[in-house]
């Protein structure tokens, strides 16, 4: 990670269009639109949050009967001071949004003042930038360890079980694909354990932030975020809303250096870690990916499929015979019902998970939702042997303040299947 | 409950307008609009559910590639059969909606064919009718007992502690107000324990269903509902989606007869149970309610306040000196941020609780959201002594399938305060 050209995990390195060939996102009108909207949402984060979160609340506060206002402004309650503290928290979060934006503009060679991308964000993009910044809690803070333990650890343990015959120093010979790589933590952990890892992600929001956190942070706990500051409900204590956390909990570059030595890895981590951007079902159905991987790991991913069969066929295509598919996640079907309205409900901020997909092309050619027992049966039908299945594997929140009076807790299903 | 005129808990018996006088809902244009919209949503439940839930899914299913469709229609998966079963479940739920509608039209003397109310429902009304029917799981099924144990039992136990000097047979001398009475289960339990109970509810959706369940069911477990049939996400087994439950778990009329004998109650339950409809802060600030009650119980209610001070002042007004306020609930502020968009997010179906309020008049004069520690401090400021406070009192879902892969769990705060 010292040399940007060689070692960074550059998002956008591979973008597949519908025909499967690689494209520069700036040369494809639809990709440009999506990228520009994502970039602009990072630019607008600060102003939108100040407006929606504190400005409107101050208006509501100053509309109160004056006796009520005076009481709530007194030392005992001091709501104006709370709003000032939330403003400061928004600014800390927005500083990260600005850092990510500057990096993205630089990477794509865009003019910071150009109107070609400024103003492109939709309200969905604004939802995504908020949830992506909060997601740093889950993926890259010490406080988020419990959520990661419940989700990433079983996958990593499954991978180690499946390849227990491979000594840690030779795990670079085991290639692992991580679709839906998100902010890159599971991908990083797999690489850190010695495997050759390729991540894939479709969302530019996620790609922009993962690029920053993996390649451009200046050290462990070098930045602050306030993951709960924008929400005013279900706090037992006001201090919980204003909790400040340090990110990243570990410094990726340093950790990978250390693990290479500990594992006596035959290949340095920089040479066995890459990230692709684009639609999983388009890119990894290409001929060059036939039987390319020893393992595919999917975490909170299969329920993003409008048509799960397309996902299964893609995993099957890119896995070697005898390769394993390790899955963990709930079944919050992101396209539930197929209608945009339904998507909105199922991807609301209450469940923590935003719909990060834009594969509408696939959505248009039909969709369906299965129960866990049916998912496993379908995987078997397509030529996999399900070698482990635990329908309720522990439980964990998804970007969830553990002190909140409302806990959204997932009870994910875990299974491992071998391609026959 | 044998004689409708004397014994039923008729919603709409008292409706307060902004000046506080009682009005017939049909004579007030705004009340008419709200009532008609609620009634119409019960009429539309069946058709809307068939359209949104199964018709659109069949369209998505038949848009799949034909090989996929054939596989999913085969005996192993049989998705068309699932959709047929969901249609049957929708019909069972809709039969209840129809029963409630017929009762409501009869009660208000409305013509079933009249266009004055047909077509009045908004999409918010449709959300409310769906959540109100699902709420029968929470309030009136054996399966919902766990949710009730976590919420109603601590309140009832608190009431019994506060009035332990009153023998059960004389509890009819203790008057208890239950704002936000909803489907009437807590109200019923308080009456069933011997107290004189007055419920208050603003939502016609809730009032119409509680009137039916309290007064017009033909016996215990006399009707079926399918509370989870309309949701296709997070099922480990398809059979869980199609769970059928019987309501009511107990027959209110029979239970009240029994408890009167067991308690040797001085007054029959029918003479110490009533229900008012209207805005709590308008109705119970009236002079006739000054120091009218020995206790007020609020369950999942205080967070419906745009201005909590108005709620506190109303409770204080209608409580006798020395009377107790018993509260249990989270702080999912229904008016969070004050904007309609924010309300929509915080009241989404993901959290189980719909915003049942229409007190926009109060909403317009300011709003604020407090943490639990601040709520208690504010209650103390207004002349209450907080005699018990447990910020995390157990936990429970709110209309939550306990077998779902996504659990929305509340950790409510419990407190009891005495008016000094």
DSSP A184-252: SHHHHHHHHTT-EEEEEE--HHHHHHHHHHHHT--STT-EEE-TTTT--SS-SSHHHHT--EEE-SS-H
Minimum distance, in Å, between the CA of residue B409 and any CA atom of chain A: 5
Query: Which chain A positions have a beta carbon within 8 Å of B74's beta carbon?
Result: none
Nearest to A77 among B63, B372, B374 (CB): B374
| Domains of chain A: residue spans and CATH | 15-419 (3.40.50.150)
Q: Cβ contacts of residue A394 below 8 Å, gap of 6+?
A: A150, A154, A411, A412
Minimum distance, in Å, between the CA of residue A63 and any CA atom of chain B: 4
Determine the longest span between alpha carbons in chain B, in angstroms: 74
Query: Which chain A positions have a beta carbon within 8 Å of B376's beta carbon?
Result: none
Task: Quote the pLDDT of residue B356.
Answer: 42
Nearest to B346 among A233, A237, A365 (CB): A233
Decide if B60 and A409 are in contact by the 8 Å CB cutoff.
no
**Shortest CA distance to B303 belongs to which of B371, B213, B222, B378?**
B371
Q: Which residue of A has its CA nearest to B335?
A: A233
**Shortest CA distance to B359 belongs to which of B268, B264, B277?**
B277
Task: Quote the pLDDT of residue B23.
Answer: 57
* % chain B with pLDDT above 90: 84
Q: pLDDT: is B348 or B93 the higher one?
A: B93
Mean pLDDT estimate for chain B: 90
Q: Cβ contacts of residue B119 below 8 Å, gap of 6+?
A: B40
Distance (Å, whole) CA B33 – CA B116? 9
Contact A253, A192 (CB under 8 A): no
Query: Which chain B positions have a beta carbon within 8 Å of A73's beta carbon?
Result: none
Mean pLDDT over residues A27-31, rounded? 90
pLDDT interval class at A299 (50, 70, 90): very high
Backbone angles phi, psi at B8, to 5 degrees: -75, 155
Contact B413, A405 (CB under 8 A): yes
Contact B378, B369 (CB under 8 A): no
DSSP A117-128: TTT---HHHHHH
Output the CA angle B321-B322-B324, nearest 5 degrees.
110
Q: Which residue of B has its CA nearest to A64?
A: B366
Mean pLDDT over residues A272-287, rounded? 96
Distance (Å, whole) CA A294 – CA A317? 12
Residue A405's alpha-carbon distances to A160, A402, B138, B298, in angstroms, are 37, 9, 19, 17
Distance (Å, whole) CA A377 – CA A385? 10
Minimum distance, in Å, between the CA of residue B378 and any CA atom of chain A: 8
Task: Quote the pLDDT of residue B360.
Answer: 41
Decide if A349 and B349 are in contact by the 8 Å CB cutoff.
no
Mean pLDDT over residues A181-200, rounded? 98
Query: Which chain B positions have a beta carbon within 8 Å of A309's beta carbon?
Result: 68, 71
SS3 track for chain B: CCCHHHHCCCCCCCCECCCCCECCHHHCHHHHHHHHHHHHHHHHHHHHHHHHHHHHHHHHHHCCCHHHHHHHHCCCCCHHHHHHHHHHHHHHHHHHHHHHHHHHHHHCCCCCCCCCCCCCCCHHHHHHHHHHHHHHHHHHCCCCHHHHHHHHHHHHHHHHHHCCCCCHHHHHHCEEEEECCCCCHHHHHHHHCCCEEEEEECCHHHHHHHHHHHHCCCCCCCEEECCCCCCCCCCCCHHHHCCCEEECCCCHHHHHHHHHHHHCCCCCHHHHEEEEECCHHHHCCCHHHCCCEEEEEEECCHHHCCCHHHHHHHHHHHEEEEEEEEEEECCCCCCCCCCHHHHHHHCCHHHCCCCCCCCHHHHHCCCCCCCHHHHHHHHHHCCEEEEEEECCCCCEECCCCCCCCEEEEECCEEEEEEEC
Mean pLDDT over residues A375-391, rounded? 97
Decide if B233 and A369 are in contact by the 8 Å CB cutoff.
yes
Minimum distance, in Å, between the CA of residue B316 and any CA atom of chain A: 16
Mean pLDDT over residues A7-18, rounded? 44
Residue B91's alpha-carbon distances to A327, B87, B143, B197, B253, in angstroms, are 36, 6, 21, 35, 27
Does position B358 have pLDDT exceeding 90, yes or no?
Answer: no
pLDDT interval class at B340 (50, 70, 90): very low
User: Which stretch of DSSP H or E encloses residue A329?
Assistant: strand A319-329
User: Which stretch of DSSP H or E encloses residue A419?
Assistant: strand A413-419
Query: Which chain A positions have a beta carbon within 8 Å of B412's beta carbon?
Result: 405
CB atoms within 10 A of CB A106: 10
Pair type for strands B245-247 and B223-225: antiparallel
Q: Is the peptide bond before A248 cis (omega within 30 degrees of 0)?
A: yes
**Shortest CA distance to A76 belongs to which of B385, B378, B391?**
B378
Q: Which of A75-84, A361-370, A389-398 has the highest mean pLDDT?
A: A75-84
Pair type for strands B413-419 and B384-390: antiparallel
Does position B58 have pLDDT exceeding 50, yes or no?
Answer: yes
Decide if A378 and B77 are in contact by the 8 Å CB cutoff.
yes
Query: Which chain B positions have a beta carbon within 8 Å of A70's beta carbon?
Result: none
Does position A403 have pLDDT exceeding 70, yes or no?
Answer: yes
Contact A388, A418 (CB under 8 A): no
pLDDT interval class at A393 (50, 70, 90): confident
Does position B364 have pLDDT exceeding 90, yes or no?
Answer: no
Contact B183, B139 (CB under 8 A): yes
Minimum distance, in Å, between the CA of residue A90 and any CA atom of chain B: 15
Q: Which residue of B has its CA nearest to A241?
A: B371
Probe site for chain A from B374, B383, B391, B401 (most A CB atoms < 10 A): B374
The tens digit of pLDDT for each residue in B366-379 reads 999 999 999 999 99
Decide if A232 and B369 are in contact by the 8 Å CB cutoff.
yes
pLDDT interval class at B347 (50, 70, 90): very low
Q: Cβ contacts of residue B111 below 8 Å, gap of 6+?
A: B105
Distance (Å, whole) CA B391 – CA B398? 18
Q: Classify the phi-psi angles of B265: left when phi > 0, otherwise alpha if psi is within -120 to 50, otherwise beta.
A: beta
Decide if A52 and B339 are in contact by the 8 Å CB cutoff.
yes
**ipTM score for this prediction:** 0.91
Strand partners, A388: A416
Say how far residue B164 (Cα) sits from the centre of its chain: 28
Q: Which residue of A has its CA nearest to B331?
A: A234
Using the Cα atoms of residue B385, residue B388, residue B389 and residue B395 in order, give the sign of their dihedral.
negative
Contact A305, A279 (CB under 8 A): no
CA atoms within 13 A on the CB side of A340: 3
Probe site for chain A from B230, B236, B370 (most A CB atoms < 10 A): B236
Mean pLDDT over residues B354-363, rounded? 44
Task: Quote the pLDDT of residue A27.
Answer: 86
The tens digit of pLDDT for each residue in B151-201 reads 999 999 999 999 999 999 999 999 999 999 999 999 999 999 999 999 999
Q: pLDDT: is B56 or A10 the higher one?
A: B56
Task: Quote the pLDDT of residue B230.
Answer: 97
Task: Quote the pLDDT of residue A240.
Answer: 98
Nearest to A338 among B56, B391, B392 (CB): B56
Decide if B406 and A409 are in contact by the 8 Å CB cutoff.
yes
Nearest to A405 among B79, B331, B350 (CB): B331
Q: Which residue of A has its CA nearest to B350?
A: A350
Distance (Å, whole) CA B14 – CA B313? 21
Query: Which chain B positions have a beta carbon within 8 Å of A64's beta carbon?
Result: 307, 365-368
Q: Which of A13-27, A207-221, B311-325 has the lowest mean pLDDT?
A: A13-27
Q: Cβ contacts of residue A27 below 8 Å, gap of 6+?
A: none
Query: Which chain A positions have a beta carbon within 8 Å of B232's beta carbon?
Result: 333, 336-337, 369
Nearest to A413 among B60, B240, B405 (CB): B405
């Amino acid at each position: 990670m010292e040399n940007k050209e060689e070692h960074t995990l550059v998002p956008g390195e591979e973008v597949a269009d519908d025909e499967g060939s690689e494209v520069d996102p700036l040369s494809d009108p639809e990709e440009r639109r999506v990228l520009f909207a994502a970039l602009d949402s990072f630019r607008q984060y600060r102003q939108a949050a100040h407006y929606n979160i504190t400005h409107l609340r101050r208006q509501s506060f100053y509309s109160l009967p004056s006796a009520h206002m005076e009481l709530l402004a007194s030392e005992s309650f001091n709501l104006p001071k709370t709003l000032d503290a939330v403003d400061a928290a928004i600014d800390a979060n927005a500083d990260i949004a600005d850092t990510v934006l500057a990096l993205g503009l630089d990477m794509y060679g865009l003019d910071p003042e150009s109107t070609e991308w400024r103003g492109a964000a939709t309200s969905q993009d604004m939802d995504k930038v908020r949830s992506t910044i909060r997601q740093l809690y889950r993926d890259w803070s010490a406080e988020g360890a419990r959520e990661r333990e419940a989700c990433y650890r079983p996958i990593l343990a499954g991978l180690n079980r499946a390849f227990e015959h491979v000594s840690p120093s030779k795990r670079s010979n085991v290639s692992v694909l991580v679709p839906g790589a998100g902010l890159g933590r599971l991908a990083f952990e797999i690489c850190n354990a010695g495997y050759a890892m390729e991540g894939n992600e479709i969302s530019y929001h996620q790609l922009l932030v993962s690029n920053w956190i993996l390649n451009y942070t200046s050290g462990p706990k070098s930045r602050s975020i306030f993951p709960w500051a924008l929400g005013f409900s279900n706090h037992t204590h006001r201090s919980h809303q204003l909790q400040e956390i340090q990110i990243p909990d570990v410094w990726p570059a340093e950790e990978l250096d250390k693990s290479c030595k500990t594992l006596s890895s035959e290949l340095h981590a920089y040479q066995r870690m890459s990230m692709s951007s684009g639609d999983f079902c388009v890119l990894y159905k290409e001929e060059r990916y036939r039987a390319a991987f020893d393992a595919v790991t999917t975490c909170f991913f299969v329920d993003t499929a409008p048509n799960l069969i397309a996902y299964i066929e893609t995993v099957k295509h890119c896995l070697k015979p005898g390769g394993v598919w390790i899955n963990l996640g709930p079944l919050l079907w992101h396209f539930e019902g197929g209608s945009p309205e339904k998507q909105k409900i199922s991807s609301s901020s209450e469940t923590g998970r935003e719909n990060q997909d834009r594969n509408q092309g696939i959505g248009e050619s039909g969709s369906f939702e299965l129960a866990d027992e049916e998912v496993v049966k379908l995987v078997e039908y397509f030529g996999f042997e399900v070698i482990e299945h635990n329908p309720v594997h522990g439980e964990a929140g998804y970007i969830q303040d553990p002190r909140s009076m409302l806990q959204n807790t997932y009870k994910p299903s875990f299974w491992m299947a071998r391609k026959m």
